[in-house]
């Protein structure tokens, strides 16, 4: 039999120590999330009902439901995705597959990094000046969604570019050797193998756009409207703004109402992300490499 040397014993102790350390760090990250979810469920589940989800606010927003805000959030997220995902994927394809490494592409990359670090309130002011006033969209779903799309473009671009670069270069060379053009190789081989990574950026975008308040407060979301939006040029309520309103602006709100709104908002994000994650896992399972 072999006996462990002092060096091996020391290595095992160090490995065990780091394993415990990383486990504790993971627990510290997960614990606040679990506490938040538990608090929302305990304090907000009492208001959840079919009427709460599918009726409008009443009695000065101290009673009733959240359906206009729920529908408005779906409008905002959907339109923002339809705008930002094609633009972000196209920009990432250019930077990853076509652009050479020169001062221009480095300038573009620097702009993307800086755009990701701009505070959301600055995006809101840009949205007011560009989309509400300059382009004349007014305070509408379109103006708010465009603002959200500009704000989340860096996430889509970076995630898409990383997933494109993760596809082996040999795939491209095999296509070129068979006579395919660069675009044919990208469309038929590279993009299908990178789509699961692209969905990572979409998941992050959905999470951020659903919970943002400042960019939509000045560009398209309203305190209250008795009418449901019929198109992208209408104003709308939104879950994040509605939560802010009932938590800070409306007197005599039942204590459990804001928690119920927050619980539904978190559930919306989880459902949207779960659908995207399930689709991503399905696509990853179809990979041949």
The model's pLDDT over 231-284, given as tens digits with 9 standing for 90+, comes to 999 999 999 999 999 988 888 888 899 999 999 999 988 888 888 778 777 777
Q: Model confidence over 11-30: pLDDT tens digits?
A: 888 888 989 999 999 999 89
Does residue 121 belong to any structural domain of this protein? Answer: yes
Does residue 15 belong to any structural domain of this protein? Answer: no
Helix axes 141-166, 191-211, angle to 10 degrees: 140
% of the chain residues with pLDDT over 70: 96
pLDDT value, residue 106: 87
Q: Specify whether the backbone of 243 is left (phi greater than 0), alpha (psi in -120 to 50) or beta.
A: alpha
pLDDT band at 31 (very low <50, low <70, confident <90, very high): very high
Does residue 220 belong to any structural domain of this protein? Answer: yes
- Does 4 score more than 70 pLDDT? no
Q: Which of 233, 258, 216, 269 is nearest to 66 (CA)?
A: 258
pLDDT value, residue 288: 59
User: Total domain count for the chain?
Assistant: 1
pLDDT value, residue 179: 85
Helix H, strand E, coil C: the string for the chain is CCCCCHHHHHHHHHHHHHHHHHHHHHHHHHHHHHHHHHHHHHHHHHHCCHHHHHCCEECCCCEECCHHHHHHHHHHHHHHHHHHHHHHHHHHHHHHHHCCCCHHHHHHHHHHHHHHCCCHHHHHHHHHHHHHHHCCCCCCHHHHHHHHHHHHHHHHHHHHHHHHHHCCHHHHHHHHHCCCCHHHHHHHHHHHHHHHHHHHHHHHHHHHHHHCCHHHHCCCECCCCCCCCCCCCCCECCHHHHHHHHHHCCCCCCCHHHHHHHHHHHHHHHHHHHHHHHHHHHHHHCCCC
Does residue 35 belong to any structural domain of this protein? Answer: no
Residue whose token pair is 């462990």 = 4
Q: How confident is the model over 41-62, as a mean pLDDT?
A: 89
Does residue 69 belong to any structural domain of this protein? Answer: yes
pLDDT value, residue 192: 86
Does residue 96 belong to any structural domain of this protein? Answer: yes
- Does 34 score more than 60 pLDDT? yes
Question: Is 138 exposed, middle or buried (CB count within 10 Å of its CB: 0-12, 13-18, 19+)?
Answer: middle
Domain that holds residue 228: 50-285
Q: Which of 87, 71, 70 is nearest to 202 (CA)?
A: 87
Does residue 88 belong to any structural domain of this protein? Answer: yes
Q: Over the chain, what is the mean pLDDT?
A: 88
pLDDT band at 287 (very low <50, low <70, confident <90, very high): low
Query: Could you give the CA distance from residue 289 to residue 286 in angstroms, rounded to a whole number?
Result: 9
pLDDT band at 134 (very low <50, low <70, confident <90, very high): very high
Residue whose token pair is 């999470």 = 207
Q: Model confidence over 52-71: pLDDT tens digits?
A: 999 989 888 888 889 999 99
Query: What CATH number does residue 195 fall under?
Result: 1.10.3720.10
Structure-token pair, residue 253? 């709100």
Does residue 249 belong to any structural domain of this protein? Answer: yes
Residue whose token pair is 């008795």 = 226
């Amino acid at each position: 039999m072999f006996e462990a040397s002092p060096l091996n014993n020391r290595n095992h102790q160090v490995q065990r120590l780091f394993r415990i350390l990383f486990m504790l760090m993971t627990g510290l990250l997960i614990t606040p999330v679990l506490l938040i979810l538990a608090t929302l469920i305990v304090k907000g589940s009492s208001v959840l009902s079919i009427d709460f989800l599918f009726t409008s606010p009443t009695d000065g927003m101290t009673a009733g439901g959240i359906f206009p805000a729920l529908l408005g959030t779906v409008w905002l997220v959907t339109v923002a995705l339809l705008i930002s995902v094609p633009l972000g994927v196209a920009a990432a394809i250019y930077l990853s597959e076509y652009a050479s490494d020169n001062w221009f592409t480095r300038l573009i990359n620097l702009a993307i990094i800086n755009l990701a670090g701009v505070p959301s309130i600055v995006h809101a002011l840009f949205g007011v000046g560009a989309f509400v006033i300059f382009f004349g969209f007014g305070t509408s779903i379109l103006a708010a969604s465009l603002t959200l799309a500009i704000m989340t473009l860096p996430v889509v671009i970076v995630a898409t570019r990383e997933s494109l670069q993760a596809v082996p270069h040999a795939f491209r060379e095999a296509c070129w050797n068979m006579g395919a053009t660069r675009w044919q190789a990208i469309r038929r081989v590279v993009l299908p193998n990178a789509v699961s990574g692209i969905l990572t950026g979409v998941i992050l975008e959905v999470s951020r756009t659903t919970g943002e308040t400042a960019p939509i407060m000045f560009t398209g979301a309203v305190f209250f409207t008795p009418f449901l939006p019929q198109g992208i040029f209408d104003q709308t309520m939104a879950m994040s703004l509605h939560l802010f309103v009932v938590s800070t602006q409306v007197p005599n709100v039942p204590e459990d109402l804001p928690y119920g709104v927050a619980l539904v908002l978190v559930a919306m994000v989880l459902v949207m992300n779960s659908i995207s994650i399930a689709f991503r896992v399905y696509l990853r399972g179809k990979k041949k490499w």
